Structure 1
Amino acid sequence: MSLDLQTVANRYARALFELADQQGELEQVHQELMSLREIFQANPRLATLLTSIKLSLSQKESLVQALQQGASQLTTNLIQMVFDYGRMNAMVAIIDEFERRYDQQNKRVHADVVTAVQLDEPRRAQLKQNLLTRYGAKEIVLHETVDESILGGVIVTAQHKTLDGSLKSKIEQIRRLLVK
């Protein structure tokens, strides 16, 4: 019976998170995993290559060693174990789950922010402060996007909720009220 991707990700991430936390290596492992995720995202076929028959075992092992280079023992062990069990296609999900646990422990919130113009530093700082208060977080990580079609204001999506303060949506609300 094969396990689904989320179950695999949860198990590996939980084990790694608990070990890293116990050994005082949580910050280091977190940073290494963020770098590792960037590699997998920049090379979308990498996980498939590491689990397919297109490469020989020695070629795959060479790629795995390159991924492990410079990493802590915990991260190296994770990469090796995931490779050995043929689950490289779950690596990004494992990292995502690890980061979710890390964020929860550190009261860190990721927020997708859409604005009509690029935020300057004072407005970015004010937005972060408002979000810190709203979510009771210690840290806010903004993922900014500029979309001129919202005309003005800001749309924030964080913790599965969207706060739409865009001028476009306000105009739409007024238009709906006038049409009634």
Structure 2
Amino acid sequence: MSNLAVANRYAYALFQLAQEKNDLKKVNEELQAVKSVVESTPEFVSLISHPKVTNQQKQQFIQENLGEVLSEMTLNTILLLVERKRIDSLVPMINKFKELAYEAQDVAEAQVYSPKPLSEKEQEHIAKIFAKKAKKSRLEVTNIVESELIGGIKIRIGDRIYDGTVRAQLDQIKRQLVAGTR
């Protein structure tokens, strides 16, 4: 079975359990914290995936380092992945869980590209306006600063892009001038 299929199964099982206990948001936040640890600490990944380290040692390490900050449900899922030698499915499982949780909560993720960092108020304003366009109740905004943008913002929600940058407007004017419609 492919790594992605395994990750999807674990994510769906954890999603159903978290939904039953009304802990979707909490479990998602915990999993995002685990993902951040995994992505920022290569030593952690090499230890929990090393073939000479026993499953018991891996589980003990995880319990000692993550046991106090994770709920029992989240911790047990990670320990189960270790036990079944599926720890390589951890990050894909976390990504799938986030997708399922956001869909259930009617939330979408938005990346907002801007030439300078946006204030919290600006991010909230963008989230409010574009949540309606995305037909979601709420948007989780991530601001990505791209200094090569001249001005304006570009917003990506799922596979849709709203481009209000100066560069896009100049390109549109150029196309109209070349086509002779302006």
CA distance in 2, matches of 1:45, 1:179: 55
What do the CA deviations read for 1:66-123 (whole angstroms, capped 9, x no partner)? 3441222211210111001111111111111111111001011110111122223443
Corresponding position of 1:164? 163
Does residue 73 of structure 2 align to residue 81 of structure 1?
no
> Which sits farther off after the overlay, 147-156 or 38-47?
38-47
- Contact 1:109/1:159 (8 A) holds in 2: yes
SS of the residue corresponding to residue 136 of structure 2 reads coil
Unaligned runs of 5+ in 1: none
Q: Which residue of 1 aligns with 2:25?
A: 27
What is the distance in 2 between the residues matched to 1:24 and 1:179?
56
In 1, Cα distance between the equivalents of 2:160 and 2:93?
Answer: 24
Deviation, 1:59, is 4.3
| CA distance in structure 2 between the aligned counterparts of 1:142 and 1:55, rounded to whole angstroms | 40
Q: Which residue of 2 aligns with 1:94?
A: 93
The verdict on how the C-alpha distance between 1:64 and 1:125 changes in structure 2, with shifts beyond 3 A counting, is closer
How far did 1:58 drift? 5.5
SS in 2 for 1:148: coil
Question: Does the aligned pair in 2 maintain the 1:150–1:166 contact within 8 Å?
Answer: yes
User: Equivalents in 2 of 1:99, 1:114: separation in Å?
Assistant: 22
Contiguous gaps of at least 5 residues in structure 2: none
- Compute the TM-score of the two structures, normalised by the length of structure 2: 0.86
Residues paired across the two proteins, number: 178
1:149 aligns with 2:148: yes
1:53 equivalenced with 2:55 (yes/no): no
Aligned-pair identity in percent equals 24
